Every structure is written in structure tokens, then in C-alpha cells.
Amino acid sequence: MGYCIEFAVGGGVLRAIVSGRSRFADAIARDIGAQARESSVRHVLVDVRKLYNRLGRLRALLAQRDVSERIAVVDSGRNDRHYVFAEIAARAKGCILRRFDDQAAALAWLYNPAA
């Protein structure tokens, strides 16, 4: 099994729901980055709850040259402690990354950064 990304664009946000195997993390990151550039969005929501073996794989997304201004990642709260490293890497690229339990909270943050 490879991977599948379901894309949707609305309100300046690219939503990417990823499923499959994370051994394709570099390809997944390239696909999401390309779609974000083509869509001319500044904010990205990535839902990785259906992606197997996903811990530590956000580095590939952050390694892209043109990183979005804000990235909201939807993942299980059990993995929260692993996101500190991705948040630090994102900040170094001039991006803000945060993890959320659900898409509604992630979208609220993307649409209203002060919330």
C-alpha cells in the first residue's frame, strides 16, 4: 500500500488528509508542498490520523523550500510530545506549526491566529 492525499482548498487554507504508509514521507511532503504552491495558499492543514508510522515524519514537509506561513497538524493527543521538535524546525523556517486533536480546532486557529 502506498499513500493517498485528499486535497481541498477554501478560505485561503489547503486541507490535506493523508492516509497510507509514512515510508513515503518525502513524496507526501512534495505533493502537499506542490499543491500549496499551486493553490497560492498561506496556511495548510494536514490531517495525519490515518497515516501509519507517522511520528518524526514532518521534517520532510518542513524541508520544502517554500513552507507555508502556518501549518496545523491534526493528530492524536498521545503524540503531542513529539511535535515540539517539528515546532522548533518550523520556527527556524519562519513558519508556525501547531498540533490539534480535530480539524475544527485547527481551522479555527488558521482562520483566527489570535484564538
pLDDT in tens, 16-37: 999 987 777 778 888 988 898 8
Note the pLDDT tens digit of each residue in 67-105. Answer: 678 999 999 888 888 888 888 888 888 889 999 999 999
Instruction: Provide the CA 52 distance to its chain's centre, in angstroms.
Output: 15
For residue 26, the SS3 value is helix
pTM, two decimals, is 0.87
CATH classification at residue 83: 3.30.750.24
Residue range(s) defining the domain that contains residue 25: 3-111
Number of domains in the chain: 1
